[in-house]
């Protein structure tokens, strides 16, 4: 079998398909690279590893497209992952660029996780790269990882990261609740994703009147999975008894004034500073577990 000619024809046909049928570009890419990866694997077994370097030079010269040695190795790796059924079924919702990012990972379970969230959340390549860079999978609870491996049913709380990253892009020294709040709000979307996929932002410094006094809730969120409001209070000290009393008053206020009969009771969360880390020290609902926070 002439492996080189087979590989060359696969790549040429793929380029033709991409020009004629724009809608099928991604499917054609993935099918082509899978087939080419298979041929590279077989050629390597017969002729040795040096054959990939030879093919790289010839393909680049004859097709006018740069097929580097690294690219061909990645294509072969792509085939081996799916051929050995180490990862989930090949998904055309991910592009070759997505898979290229994943091929840098060694942990098969981690690869499966990122394939899953890319499909579910329609992550771009840049977003996927950022999730990998922030070690999202590594920060999942071991029980969650086991559920994913054994394909058991998961809960929204399973995907709260530990620790949760709070991005401090302005490098402000966090010395007060106001500064911590500002740091979170500057990267609110990232913060909500770290907390979980079901949290929505409503307001910060939410004004409420208790008796003759006005108070302000640091962050008011909504969780559509639990169908309830979430009151978040921020502290730069360790948790104190009065903090719990304060948030319980706020939760009761939201239940009486905003909550509808079809909604669940309001959840309260207090984020405190402890041992130079920000942690979820208190949560009124056992559906949400205490997690550590750290500032990037």
Mean pLDDT for the chain?
A: 85
Greater pLDDT, 249 or 172: 249
Quote the percentage of the chain above a pLDDT of 70: 87
Residues 157-168 have a mean pLDDT of 73
Read off the pLDDT of each residue in 195-208 and give the average, rounded to a whole number.
90
Do 221 and 202 form a contact (C-beta atoms < 8 A)?
A: yes
- The per-residue pLDDT for range 62-90, each reduced to its tens digit, is 988 888 999 999 999 999 988 876 666 67
Residue of 235, 200, 206 lying closest to 219 (CA atoms): 206
- Paired strand residues for 295: 166
Q: Which pLDDT does position 215 carry in this prediction?
A: 94
pLDDT at residue 292 tops 70: no
Identify the three-state secondary structure at position 126: helix
- Helices 50-63 and 69-83 cross at an angle (nearest 10°) of 120
**Residue with the larger pLDDT of the pair 20 and 96:** 96
pLDDT of residue 295: 65
pLDDT digits (tens, 9 = 90+) for 40-61: 999 999 989 899 999 999 999 9
The pLDDT value given to residue 163: 73
> 258-295 as b/e, with b when 16 or more CB fall inside 10 Å?
ebeeeeeebbbbbbbbeeeebbbbbbbbeebeebbbeb
Is-contact 175 216, C-beta < 8 A? no
What domains, with CATH codes, occur in the chain? 3-137 (no CATH), 164-295 (3.40.1350)
What is the per-residue pLDDT for 174? 76
Cα–Cα dist 251/105, whole Å: 43
> Could you tell me which residue, 122 or 281, shows the higher pLDDT?
122
Better-predicted residue by pLDDT, 1 or 223: 223
């Amino acid at each position: 079998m002439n492996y080189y000619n087979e590989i060359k024809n696969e790549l040429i046909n793929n380029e033709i398909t991409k020009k004629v049928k724009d809608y099928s570009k991604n499917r054609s890419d993935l099918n082509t690279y899978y087939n080419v990866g298979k041929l590279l694997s077989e050629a390597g077994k017969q002729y040795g590893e040096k054959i990939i370097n030879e093919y790289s030079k010839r393909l680049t010269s004859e097709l006018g497209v740069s097929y580097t040695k690294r690219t061909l190795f990645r294509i072969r790796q792509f085939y081996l992952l799916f051929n050995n059924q180490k990862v989930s079924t090949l998904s055309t919702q991910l592009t070759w660029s997505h898979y290229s990012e994943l091929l840098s990972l060694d942990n098969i379970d981690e690869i499966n996780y990122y394939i899953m969230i890319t499909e579910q959340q329609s992550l771009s390549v840049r977003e996927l790269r950022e999730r990998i860079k922030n070690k999202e999978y590594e920060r999942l609870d071991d029980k969650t990882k086991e559920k994913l491996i054994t394909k058991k049913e998961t809960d929204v709380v399973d995907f709260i990261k530990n620790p949760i990253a709070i991005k401090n892009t302005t490098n402000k020294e966090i010395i007060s609740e106001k500064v911590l709040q500002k740091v979170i709000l500057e990267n609110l979307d990232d913060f909500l994703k770290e907390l979980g996929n079901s949290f929505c932002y409503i307001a910060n410094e939410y004004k409420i009147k208790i008796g003759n006094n006005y108070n302000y809730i640091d962050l008011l969120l909504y969780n559509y999975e639990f169908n309830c409001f979430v009151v978040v209070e921020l502290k730069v000290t360790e948790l104190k008894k009065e903090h719990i009393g304060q948030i319980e008053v706020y939760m009761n206020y939201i239940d009486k004034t905003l909550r509808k009969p079809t909604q669940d009771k309001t959840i309260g969360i207090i984020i405190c500073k402890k041992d130079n880390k920000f942690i979820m020290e208190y949560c009124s609902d056992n559906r949400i577990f205490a997690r550590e926070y750290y500032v990037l």
